[in-house]
Amino acid sequence: MTPATTAAVDFESEPVLTRAGHRLLDAASELFYARGIRAVGVDLIAEEAGTTKKTLYDCFGSKDVLVALYLRRRAIRWQEFLRSRLGDPGTGDAVDRARRVFDALEEWHESGARGCAFVNAYAEVGSANDPAVHVIRAEKQWMHELFLRLAREAEAPDPETAGSLLHLVYEGALVQATAGGEPDAIGRARAAVAGVLG
C-alpha cells in the first residue's frame, strides 16, 4: 500500500525526498546519463545508492517516475547553471551574453561528455505520450525562448529568425561534440554567434 509515499510525477515542485530517496535519485541520475536509461536496472541503482530495491519502490513507485524525475532535475540544474553564467539581462554586451551560453555549454559538457541527456532520453522512450517526452519538449522550448530573448536583446534584425537559428546551431553543436566526435564544435558555434545575431 504505502499510499502516502508513492510519489506522483509532480512537475511543479521538487518532491520531498528522504535521505535514501536523495541517494537513489543521485545514483540513478549518474547512471542514466552515463550508460543510458534502459541499460541501467533498478537493482544496480539501489546497490549504487547503498540501499535496497524495496526502498526505491517505496520512494518512487516505478522506474518511469525515477526517469522523469532525473530529467526534470537535470533541466532545472542546467537552467540554474546557465543563468548563473549569463548574468542579468542588460548587463554588458548582448552578443557577449549569447556567447556565454556556449561557454557554459562547453564547461557543462566537460564533465560527462555523453551529449544532451534529453536527446538521449528521447531516443530511448517509445511512445510520444510518455511523461518523459513532456520534460524533454519543455526543456527544448525553454532553450528556444532563451535564444529568442537573447536575439531581441542584441537587437538583431528579425530576432525571431536569428534566435531560432542560434538555437539550431546550439543543438547541432552539442550533437557534433559528442555523437559526431568533433570536440571543437561548440567553440565553432560560439564563433558564429556574432554573425548569426548581426
Partner DNA sequence: AGGTAACCATACCGGTCGGTATACTCGCAG
Partner DNA sequence: CTGCGAGTATACCGACCGGTATGGTTACCT
Contact positions vs DNA (CB under 7 A): 2, 4-5, 18-21, 38, 40-44, 50-55, 57-59, 61-64
Which DSSP category does 126 fall into?
-
* Residue 74 binds: one of DNA, a copy of itself, none (C-beta under 5 to 8 A by kind): none
- Say how many C-beta atoms besides its own lie within 10 A of residue 111's C-beta: 6
Task: Pick the piece of the chain touching a copy of itself (CB under 8 A) from 58-66, 68-76, 86-94, 176-184.
Answer: 176-184
Name the residue with cell 537559428. 165
Closest CA to 165 of 154, 151, 153: 151
Say whether residue 168 binds a copy of itself (CB under 8 A). yes
Our separate counts of H helices and E strands in the chain read 10, 0
Q: Could you say which of 12, 111, 129, 181 contacts a copy of itself (CB under 8 A)?
A: 181
Say whether residue 120 binds a copy of itself (CB under 8 A). yes
Task: Pick the piece of the chain touching a copy of itself (CB under 8 A) from 3-11, 12-20, 75-83, 135-143.
Answer: 135-143
Using only C-alpha atoms, the chain has a radius of gyration, in whole angstroms, of 19
Query: Side chain identity at 140, as an amino acid letter?
Result: K
Residue 187: burial class (beta carbons within 10 Å; 0-12, 13-18, 19+): middle
Q: Please, what is the minimum distance in Å from the beta carbon of residue 179 to DNA? A: 22
* Residue 136 binds: one of DNA, a copy of itself, none (C-beta under 5 to 8 A by kind): a copy of itself
